Amino acid sequence: MEDFTISELYRKLRDKDISALEVAKKYIDRIKEEDNNIGAFLSFDEERAISSAKLADKEISEGKGSLLTGIPFALKDNILVEDLKNTCASKILKDYIAPYDATCFKKLKEKGAVLLGKTNLDEFAMGASTENSAFSITKNPKDKERVPGGSSGGSAAAVSSNMCVFALGSDTGGSIRQPASFCSVVGLKPTYGAVSRYGLTAFASSLDQIGPLSKNVEDAKIVFNVIKGKDINDSTSVDYKKREEKKNLKIGLPKEYFADGLDKEVERLISKEIEKIKKLGFEIKEISLPNTKYVIPVYYLTSSPEASSNLSRFDGIKYGLSIQGEKTNNLFDVYSKTREEGFGDEVKRRIILGTYALSSGYYDAYYLKAQKVRTLIARDFDNAFKDVDIIISPVSPFSAFKIGEKKDDPLSMYLCDILTAPVSLAGLPALSLPLKVNDLPVGLQIIGRHFEEENIFKFAKILEENE
């Protein structure tokens, strides 16, 4: 299948060069051919895709529809679609069927987009490599010995290998941006509250945000403009009002993001991009985000307690896996055996850490203190944005690592989030833009003020057009 963008495929569909049904069949065939080698999808629904494509053709023939009518896409398997499995890549939800549609999916469906299937992820979105899935390991299409990043690794790999035109993922501490960087696609984490979380299986409720992974900046903008906005089912969502675009963008370089620990090749490529930005006439200023050093403990003492609370609903009683029998003599046994068998090691690790941080005598010392420092991290960005309009940095300190390389070293894996988690803690929007490389992909992180995605798109588009 050709490397179509949304706009290119839209034109072909409108000009009747190809039908939506033909497009859907081509992408389904590609998934069948390619996905055995990559493992991007946990499930795909051929019947639903064919039915949606036929409806799209009818809309197009009547002169109706939108930019997304007939466009094939994929969803991370923690975003609900009515009557489809929603496993979150966990044994505890192996056979769970979603009872309703997530708001973001409903909006895409209303625009005529064609769902191909659900993509792999780290279990309950906890991980940075998509190795923590209970069902399979996803491989990086650019180098199949390496990880695609995580936790939205399946969505990034599906877009990168042309098995769909775009996909949705979720980003809690970098889970859209890091796999986008590793797989050489565009990935946007919107401002917290810009996109409804209704129908997203919760990991850390004060951090989770849904966003697109796409072939280029324009596609990310198209999808974002469809899924954004207030939703009565999500009290944290907002009535998104586009802010005025800045004409002369000032660019900030946080010195803490270019300190020791940055891979030499990543540093070289980012430095080369900075030189290009200077030649394009942008003013660049060094800035400081002094509380960056506290990001990893603050992030994990925020996300893990929230995960502990959110995942308490998976108890073997209401839905999902339930272990009952000779070994379960009482209700506590059902709880403990179900959770022991249903959750993987990484999820258990975070539940234990989170429960400890919330326990009597430790709440003030850990969770509450982390929230106070989180405020300081957000304030760092507020101060920086008084002088600049956009902040740039690498997405990750390194490029895609080999499968299994960090699997048994949780701390090393947690450090993958060091450049992306600050943005999540501050609730800011950020985009991963793939750089032109000859070897392993590297992404440039473009960070904006709250609800100023337009400035991010504008700047990213200029860089993309001048590659």
- pLDDT bracket for residue 407 (50, 70, 90): confident
Residue 404: alpha-carbon gap to chain centroid: 22
160 located within any domain: yes
Between CA 212 and CA 171 the distance in angstroms is: 10
- Count of structural domains within the chain: 1
Q: Are 114 and 53 in contact (CB under 8 A)?
A: yes
466: Cβ contacts below 8 Å, ≥ 6 apart: 276, 280
95 located within any domain: yes
Residue 451: alpha-carbon gap to chain centroid: 18
Model confidence at 369: pLDDT above 80: yes
pLDDT cut 90: percent of the chain above it:
91
279-326 tens-digit pLDDT: 999 999 999 999 999 999 999 999 999 999 999 999 999 889 999 877
Model confidence at 383: pLDDT above 90: yes
Selected residue with higher pLDDT from 131 and 246: 131
Residues pairing with 79 in the sheet: 200
User: In one letter, which amino acid is 295?
Assistant: V
User: Catalytic positions, please?
Assistant: 76, 151, 175
Among the listed residues 189, 180, 188, 89, the one whose alpha carbon sits nearest the alpha carbon of residue 142: 180
361 located within any domain: no
Cα-only R_g, the chain: 21
User: Helix, strand or coil for residue 431?
Assistant: strand
Q: Are 130 and 149 in contact (CB under 8 A)?
A: yes
Model confidence at 1: pLDDT above 70: no
Q: Are 194 and 451 in contact (CB under 8 A)?
A: yes
Q: The tokens 């003492």 sit on which residue?
A: 301
Beta strands 390-394 and 250-254, pairing class: parallel
- pLDDT bracket for residue 329 (50, 70, 90): confident
332 located within any domain: no
81-130 tens-digit pLDDT: 999 999 999 999 999 999 999 999 999 999 999 999 999 999 999 999 99
Q: Are 113 and 55 in contact (CB under 8 A)?
A: no
User: Helix, strand or coil for residue 141?
Assistant: coil
258-282 tens-digit pLDDT: 987 899 999 999 999 999 999 999 9
What is the arithmetic mean of pLDDT over 165-189? 98
pLDDT (0 to 100) of residue 261? 83
Edge-first strand order for the sheet with 166-171 is: 41-44, 114-119, 72-76, 166-171, 209-214, 186-189, 430-434, 443-448, 390-394, 250-254, 283-287
What is the overall mean pLDDT for the chain?
Answer: 96
443 located within any domain: no
178 located within any domain: yes
What is the arithmetic mean of pLDDT over 183-194? 98
324 located within any domain: no
24: Cβ contacts below 8 Å, ≥ 6 apart: 49, 50, 52, 53, 70, 72, 114, 116
> What contacts 24+ positions apart, CB below 8 Å, involve 23-30?
23/53, 23/70, 23/72, 23/114, 24/49, 24/50, 24/52, 24/53, 24/70, 24/72, 24/114, 24/116, 25/50, 25/53, 26/1, 27/1, 27/72, 27/116, 27/163, 27/164, 28/116, 30/1, 30/162, 30/163
Q: CATH no. for residue 17?
A: 3.90.1300.10
pLDDT (0 to 100) of residue 169? 98
Task: Give the CA angle between residues 246, 249, 255 to the nearest 5°.
Answer: 140
Q: Which of 106-115, 401-410, 451-460 has the lowest mean pLDDT?
A: 401-410
Residues 17, 23, 29, 35, Cα dihedral to 10° = 130
User: Helix, strand or coil for residue 218?
Assistant: helix
What is the arithmetic mean of pLDDT over 346-360? 96
465: Cβ contacts below 8 Å, ≥ 6 apart: none
200-249 tens-digit pLDDT: 999 999 999 999 999 999 999 999 999 999 999 999 999 987 777 778 89
106: Cβ contacts below 8 Å, ≥ 6 apart: none
Between CA 96 and CA 110 the distance in angstroms is: 25
Selected residue with higher pLDDT from 70 and 331: 70
Range of the domain at 220: 6-227
Residue 188: φ, ψ to 5°? -115, 125
100 located within any domain: yes
Among the listed residues 193, 196, 233, 244, the one whose alpha carbon sits nearest the alpha carbon of residue 79: 196
